Amino acid sequence: MANRKNEGQRLGITDPISLTGPTYFDLCKTKQLQNYLENAQLYETPDEALAREEVLARLDQIVKVWVKSISRAKGLNEQLVREANAKIFTFGSYRLGVHGPGADIDTLCVGPRYATREEDFFGELGRMLAAMPEVTELHPVPDAHVPVMKFKFSGVSIDLLYAKLSLWIIPEELDLSHNSILENADEQTVRSLNGCRVTDQILRLVPNIQNFRTTLRCMRLWAKCRGVYSNVTGFLGGINWALLVARICQLYPNALPSMLVSRFFRVYTQWRWPNPVMLCNIEEGSLGLQIWDPRRYHRDRYHLMPIITPAYPSMNSSYNVSSSTLQILSEEFQRGNDICMAMESNKEDLEWDTLFERFSFFKAYNNYLQIDINAENGDDLRQWKGWVESRIRQLTLKIEKHTLNMLQCHPHPGDFSDKSKPFHCSYFMGLKRKQQGPGLPNQDGTFDIRATIAEFKGIVLNNYTCWKSGMEIRPAELMAPPILNKCFASVPREKPTIRFGSSNWRTQKGLKKSQVWQRKWNLWGLNLMQKQRGDQPKCSLVNEEDILVGGNVADPTVPNS
């Protein structure tokens, strides 16, 4: 299974671009790349690997005890109780073999038809886990698009999904790759099974698994260094990068990782989006499940960077990509291609660390949007963060829409915290004008996005059904925030392109932060009224002098883990 390049079977929807084998240069560069990845501490130790295997074995034992317990509680006959079984599968980076030290393990519990998701999985199994001393930070999310239980087991982070099959008995040798496994399954089960089915199919469709893994480790590290590793904020996540790398492996089946990295950038620099990236032909299936098909489904036509999953039902794994994030990804692909071409031509004495140079987010823009959130305790903040982070992509889309796609939004994929402020964190978004055009509503060439920001805040607050007292969100438009000025005082800044208005007031000493922010929003409302009457707004939502009310960042160059 590890190497299929000599089996004569074509993998992919087209013939390979090249069957050329490695040169001496490729061998040397691949060795250097492997050393670089090892020095970057991307590989776990044997003891850490053993600890993960022990946790997975223990978790498998727990779900087997759980399913027997509920089979007895439901009054099933003795034979069904005796044969009752549940099974743990892994997927994601752990199953692909590219996980690093401390990474979480994506797991799936497969149970029989009588074990329900709400009552039995989140209920009974959740109570069993909560009672165990090895389990900490248990956080069930039953209302998520893919319902999940998050927790730590003996210090190992686990994301546990659940799939209820139509079977009375779950065989120990169950194969999830057969489409029959999806018969009579609900939507949550189909989505939960999708992770395992896609991961296993990727491993079947690459010609050399070891070369695939090394190349994928490299591209995951590169994407994180360049700030484009985040599905939730509109870039690409783990499964997206795995599919992109797998397609390059199909196109260059005999290449070593150094050449695969170079060809990755070459191919995707020239890729004509929205042409989809696919590892195999899309299967229609006989179960009637919806697949990605822009000819049939109107919504699929608006996907900008479709990367299609290879298992039935095929879906676009990158539907979160927006116009702005696609532009940023394209620029990063071009930069990677330029560096790889320079290394191959030996025109410059470049090493791999040039490719992995970290993107200086806070030096790249003249204007930033800061979103501060806080809660009353750690558990509330963790839930509130998850909700707000999932909505940031909507803010990107709204800004693009309201400026007629002329303002580029670059959301930072991480969050930042100030240790002096408990239960608080900040998100940042870089803003810049793409080019002159009809999207500029103001005569002076600036954008006024205050109404867009206020609309976003209202949607975040009003649509969150689990809101608790103390959960707050405070968006603030920044022109070179003071904390960033201190860190990057030597960075030249051009004329701002974002409208902030003129300031006729300053933060008053003695006011509570909540009072100051209430006054800000009241003044913002007054601005809108004045604007509707045709008057020039006389007050500002935010200015440089009082921006600290929104929450400074201790060190904006180091995001939270």
Q: How many CA within 13 A on the CB side of residue 261?
A: 30
Average pLDDT over residues 226-249: 96
Any idea what the Cα angle at residue 74 is, between residues 70 and 77, rounded to 5°?
Answer: 100
Most confident of 169-173, 365-369, 399-403, 481-485: 169-173
Number of helical H runs and strand E runs in the chain: 15, 9
| 368 touches 481 (CB < 8 A) | yes
> How would you class 432 by CB atoms within 10 Å of its CB: exposed for 0-12, middle for 13-18, buried for 19 or more?
middle
pLDDT at 9: 65
pLDDT at 529: 40
Query: Which residues are part of a known binding site for Mg(2+)?
Result: 104, 106, 159
DSSP string over 150-208: EEEETTEEEEEEEEE-S-SS--TT--TTSGGGGTT--HHHHHHHHHHHHHHHHHHH-SB
- Crossing angle for the helix pair 323-345 and 378-402, to the nearest 10 degrees: 90
* pLDDT over 90 percentage in the chain: 66
User: Which residues sit in the known binding site for ATP?
Assistant: 91-93, 104-106, 159, 229
Given a cut of 50, is residue 348 above it in pLDDT? yes
Collapse the DSSP code of 105 into the 3-class scheme (helix H, G, I; strand E, B; otherwise coil) and give the result: strand
Chain-wide mean pLDDT for the chain? 84
**Which domains does the chain show, CATH number per domain?**
24-40+206-356 (1.10.1410.10), 46-199 (3.30.460.10), 361-436+447-488 (3.30.70.590)
* Percent of the chain scoring above 70 in pLDDT: 81
How far apart CA 230 and CA 414 sit, in angstroms, is: 9
Give the integer Cα–Cα distance in Å for 385 and 8: 50
* The two three-digit tokens of residue 253, written as one number: 């089946």
142-201 pLDDT, tens per residue? Answer: 988 899 999 999 999 999 999 999 999 999 999 999 999 999 999 999 999 999 999 999
C-alpha span between 439 and 31 (Å, rounded): 49
Q: Which residues pair with 428 in a beta bridge?
A: 370
Residues 82-103 have a mean pLDDT of: 96
pLDDT in tens, 376-428: 998 889 889 888 988 899 999 999 999 888 898 999 998 888 888 899 999 99
Identify whether the C-beta of residue 135 lies closer than 8 Å to the C-beta of residue 129: yes
Of 154, 149, 146, the residue nearest 138 (C-alpha): 149
Does 484 have pLDDT greater than 90? no
Give residue 166's identity as a one-letter amino acid code.
S
**How does strand 105-111 pair with strand 156-164?**
parallel
| pLDDT at site 439 | 47
Q: Average pLDDT for residues 108-123, to the nearest whole number? A: 97
Pick out the residues of the known binding site. 91-93, 104-106, 159, 229
Instruction: Report CA-CA distances (Å) from 87 to 59, 65, 188, 305.
Output: 9, 11, 18, 35
> pLDDT tens for residues 296-320?
999 999 999 999 999 999 999 999 9
